[in-house]
Amino acid sequence: MKCPNSGLYAITQTDNKSVDKILSEVTAVLRGGVAMLQYRDKNPVDGQALAKALLEICHQYHVPLIINDDITLAEQIGADGVHLGKQDGNIKEARAILGADAIIGISCYNFIELALDAQKQGASYVAFGRFFPSLSKPLAAPADIETLQKAKFSLTIPVVAIGGILPENGAQLLTAGADMLAVIGGLFDSTPEQSAKAYRALFI
């Protein structure tokens, strides 16, 4: 599957949740209108089995599944791509393992230079953040709205914003230059399907 050019980018919330609960919530946000899903799980019990199940559900909704951090897991289950932070390998390695059509996303935090370099190396999208206080990533360094504005003029690949994004504050990030909004808590802390629809309305 191709990388979406815009839309809601859901990231799984897995801590202290059963597999059934995770799959139920993911199905709900897919019904609500997610453009892409990332499997993020810092304490996996059986990551391969869960990732496979997520991939099957995502493809039922024609939505790409991205694996956070783990190129090997992405290859093992045939995921649509991988998202890499600064400690997680590089684009060349991921492309060699996952193939020319894989979606490869790169965390660029608040650094436009990282994004320009990632684009040059063949990244599918870049992500900046956090833009607002985030319970999912409380220690993440803050990013500036100006970084999105620079990215809008400097990059040709999709730009993702992440970190504390709610339906109430997401529009300003889209206006500044974000193409996609990546969300964890704002989707999964309450009613996932209704929450997804609220974010989806920002893109219409």
pLDDT at 88 over 80: no
Residues 4-60 have pLDDT tens digits of: 999 999 999 999 999 999 999 999 999 999 999 999 998 888 999 999 999 999 999
HEC profile for the chain?
A: CCCCCCEEEEECCCCCCCHHHHHHHHHHHHHHCCCEEEECCCCCCCHHHHHHHHHHHHHHCCCCEEEECCHHHHHHHCCCEEEECCCCCCHHHHHHHHCCCCEEEEEEECCHHHHHHHHHHCCCEEEEECCCCCCCCCCCCCCCHHHHHHHHHHCCCCEEEECCCCCCCHHHHHHHCCCEEEECHHHHCCCHHHHHHHHHHHHC
Residues 69-83 have pLDDT tens digits of: 999 999 999 999 999
**Amino acid sitting at position 178:** A
pLDDT band at 134 (very low <50, low <70, confident <90, very high): confident
What domains can be seen in the chain, in order of their start residue?
7-203 (3.20.20.70)
Give me the pLDDT at residue 177, please: 97
